[in-house]
Structure 1
Amino acid sequence: MSTQPSTFGAHAPEALDARALFATLAGLCGSFVAIGLARFAYTPLIPPLIQAHWFTASQAVTLGAANFAGYLIGALLGRPIAHALTNRHALRLLMLAATAAFFACAFPLSVSWFFVWRLTSGVAGGAIMVLVATSILPHVPPARRGFVSGMIFLGLGLGIAASGTVIPWLLRHGLRDTWIGLGVLALVLTAISWFGWPRGDAPAAPQHAAAPRAGHADSPRTAFALRLLYAQYAANALGLVPAMVLLVDYVARGLGHGAATGAHDWVLYGVAAIAGPIVCGQAADRIGFRAAWRVALLLQALAVALLAVSSQTWAILVATLVLGAFTPGVVPLALGRIHELVPHDHLEQRAAWSRATTAFALFQALGGYGYSWLFAHSHENYALIFACGAVALTLALLADVFLNRREA
């Protein structure tokens, strides 16, 4: 019998070997390019796009929404693309598509041209979000999956931080050079990740794992818990959107602190986002994903409620740090919760994560448009929008506490 390890960490369940670490790095690069940069780097580029007369204000906002629409499409198409190409080839292709979109956006040939490429970047982001972790985590020892998932989605936090730090520096060289610079960065990260993606599918589960068990996706208990998680993840999107969309505007115009203070607050949001996935992943490894998920819902609800009821500087800073950390931090927690509920069925893990990502993407888009309408028709009532987000997160927490009692 061969003594060579067939999967990552075969001889040391608690350790990560070189292949696992390389795959983790590839996952970080994927989330950085397709989510962190493709989505969050666009926000600070909207004013320069308008000032440079590339697009009108309404066109710039519409082009921003194209990425959200593409994200939803990508979440739906991620698994079919991987089925046709294999996970490794699909992830490589999607990284190239996201990279090409940056270079294409450097040339505003028309609104339609720009819309197509913003939509393409969103499709790549949604599909990568569905595939990236589920291609890597089955090869990682269970005790280290919280850490690895945190590292994978660290890319989201890096993208948020880059949107407040790297983009202003690139803009000194001009708007076109900024898009090209983002494309070069994405190309470098794509090259780094190229050989890091796992070659094969997840290792087969042990023979005894095929027996009926409570953690099988077909069991009523597990099916109910998964449906509840999808609903909670969707509610989490509704809770995060107000801060993602309005936090800077609230500080700058709502509180009258000015655009510079708003920009500094966004940088703080990004710094917290860098730490969020790692801290959440490590916490989940220690206390379990279910407990960490509940704590995340509670802290987010309190943070958004704090924005609704207080305009004190300390309250804004606390809320910014908490929400910045959990914007990417909830992703490894939700994914890890799925792995807890379906511990041995890798195919069902991927299907469940695809459904969860789709639910998040759908309600993120609905929340963005719904909150915008409510904001416009409530005479720019920031407190009302934040209160709605707090209610959504509170309902998600209460559902987890009370409805999950039937598991017991």
Structure 2
Amino acid sequence: MSSSTQSPSATSGVLATARGAWQEPFAAALSLAVVMGFGRFAFTGMYPLMVQEGIMSVSTGSLSASANYAGYLAGALIATKIPPRAASSWTRAALVASVLCMLALAVSASPAVLIALRLVAGVASAIGLVCASVWLLNVIGRHDGAPVLFAGVGTGIAVSAELIAVGNMTRAGSSSLWIALTVGALALALFAWRPIRHPETESVRPAAGSLAQPQHVLGAWSLVASYGLAGLGYIITATYLPLLIHGALPDVNSLHVWAMFGLAAVPSCFLWHAVHERLGTRRAMQWNLVVQAIGVALPAVDHSAAAYVGSAILVGGTFVGTVTIAVPAARHAARAIRFNLVAAMTASYGVGQIVGPLMASALTAHGSSFNSSMEIASAALLFAAVICQI
């Protein structure tokens, strides 16, 4: 045998090492699939069914959405106080809280309890997002794992949406569907649980790859401002898309369109990571936000099935891309400040998400359609793109 030929045991060892190298990014991605894709966005897919069953009104749904985003803001503020060494423990706590909140939604409850549960789920989502990101990117030092990490959000949205679609085909009620979603989220959380831990030594692997050159990096406050406007910009689509489709196109299965929203997010993380590497933070953010603005505006100018599908693909294919660009870029800007920039950006994003549903509720209460809300949201994204140039 030639000395250059690997034995079967050596080959298996190489494969095991390769699998191990990506164990942490995949575990972090599964964490985001649970706390964001299931814990946060499954409610969007369940919204029309719960309204149809009379479990909640559209008004209660809007308040629940706003409560969730308020919780997201609170969770981001809490995360500013969490040291990096505790990020793994808090990620695990967020996984537990997200699963329990979904299980509790299976029990018919008053509007006040429903709103409270969505508030707690929002807190868990933000803490899970911030802490899983800090754990993977800063504690473990896997900056090359950013696209895999944020692809977890879209994966969770797509999987939860299809679980709901299957449940609807079997005419399962919302309580049964929440139990099914809980089981799905629990399975993903169990796969993520063991790798999510603090490294035994304080030395971490060096970051792989290089991001934007300094002249293309956004300052801390530009990142916070543009990221907050991005939160306002995408949230109308992310909250109401299935409900809008259900009302405008009753023959179209809104859950499959919502699943396309999540599926588009998965490859977009890798696409926008590559754009970021090539063009730098400023231009990558601008391209991302402009494309997202077009997607948000589409249903306001055209109520056809093609417009809704186009909106799902364009917004789904950019909103997690914004995170994929902004959060890794924050490590450059963070050198000049003394606070947790990722948590501050998440808090800003949370403020935008609170304003969006409240704005939509106020406009629809005064006789306006959702078109006005989508137009304002699209304008916010365009303004965020302008800030990226400053």
TM class by shorter chain equals 0.7 to 0.9
1:186 Cα deviation after fit: 1.9
8 Å contact kept, 2:165–2:255: no
CA distance 1:34–1:379, shift in 2 (3 Å)? same
1:372 aligned residue (361, 369, 373)? 361
- Runs of 5+ unmatched residues, structure 1: 1-15, 207-213, 216-220, 404-408
State the partner residue of 1:4: none
In structure 2, distance between residues paired with 1:292 and 1:334? 10
In structure 2, distance between residues paired with 1:39 and 1:306? 24
Which amino acid counterpart does residue 323 of structure 2 have in structure 1?
A: V
CA distance 1:294–1:45, shift in 2 (3 Å)? same
The Cα RMSD (Å) is 3.2
State the partner residue of 1:36: 37
State the partner residue of 2:9: none
In structure 1, distance between residues paired with 2:24 and 2:205? 20
* 1:226 and 2:220 aligned: yes
| 1:55-70 matches, cutoff 5 A | 55-70=56-71
State the partner residue of 2:290: 298
In structure 2, distance between residues paired with 1:180 and 1:266? 20
- Identity rate, percent: 24
State the partner residue of 1:118: 118
State the partner residue of 1:211: none
Can you list the C-alpha shifts for 1:103-157, whole angstroms capped at 9, x where unaligned?
Answer: 222223544444433322211101111111111113566xx73x52121111211
- Partner secondary structure for residue 179 of structure 2: helix
State the partner residue of 1:363: 352
8 Å contact kept, 1:106–1:176: yes
8 Å contact kept, 1:242–1:386: yes
8 Å contact kept, 1:236–1:396: yes
1:79 Cα deviation after fit: 3.5
CA distance 1:236–1:192, shift in 2 (3 Å)? same
CA distance 1:47–1:319, shift in 2 (3 Å)? closer
| 1:321-332 matches, cutoff 5 A | 321-332=313-324
2:165 aligned residue (165, 168, 172)? 168
Can you list the C-alpha shifts for 1:21-80, whole angstroms capped at 9, x where unaligned?
Answer: 121112111111111111111123234334445445544443343322211111111243
- Partner secondary structure for residue 86 of structure 1: helix
TM-score with structure 1 setting the length: 0.78
| 1:256-405 matches, cutoff 5 A | 256-258=248-250, 260-311=252-303, 314-342=306-334, 351-380=340-369, 382=371, 384-401=372-389, 403=390
State the partner residue of 2:147: 150
8 Å contact kept, 2:39–2:98: yes
CA distance 1:381–1:185, shift in 2 (3 Å)? closer
Stretch deviating more after TM superposition (156-165 or 320-329): 156-165
1:366 Cα deviation after fit: 0.9
Which amino acid counterpart does residue 277 of structure 1 have in structure 2?
A: C
Which amino acid counterpart does residue 156 of structure 2 have in structure 1?
A: G
8 Å contact kept, 1:32–1:159: yes
Which amino acid counterpart does residue 70 of structure 1 have in structure 2?
A: G
8 Å contact kept, 2:27–2:191: yes
Which amino acid counterpart does residue 37 of structure 2 have in structure 1?
A: G
State the partner residue of 2:8: none
- Runs of 5+ unmatched residues, structure 2: 1-16, 207-212
8 Å contact kept, 2:220–2:330: yes
In structure 1, distance between residues paired with 2:83 and 2:154? 29
Which amino acid counterpart does residue 241 of structure 1 have in structure 2?
A: I
Which amino acid counterpart does residue 395 of structure 1 have in structure 2?
A: F
In structure 1, distance between residues paired with 2:275 and 2:364? 36
State the partner residue of 2:187: 188
1:17 Cα deviation after fit: 5.6
1:285 Cα deviation after fit: 3.3
- Partner secondary structure for residue 107 of structure 1: coil
1:332 Cα deviation after fit: 1.3
In structure 2, distance between residues paired with 1:109 and 1:246? 22
In structure 1, distance between residues paired with 2:227 and 2:312? 20
Can you list the C-alpha shifts for 1:311-333, whole angstroms capped at 9, x where unaligned?
Answer: 56555443331111112221111
Which amino acid counterpart does residue 319 of structure 2 have in structure 1?
A: T
Can you list the C-alpha shifts for 1:223-243, whole angstroms capped at 9, x where unaligned?
Answer: 981101111011112221232
Which amino acid counterpart does residue 343 of structure 2 have in structure 1?
A: S
State the partner residue of 2:133: 133
In structure 2, distance between residues paired with 1:355 and 1:318? 32
In structure 1, distance between residues paired with 2:147 and 2:119? 27
Which amino acid counterpart does residue 66 of structure 2 have in structure 1?
A: A
8 Å contact kept, 1:44–1:164: yes
Stretch deviating more after TM superposition (278-287 or 50-59): 50-59
8 Å contact kept, 2:294–2:378: yes
State the partner residue of 1:178: 177
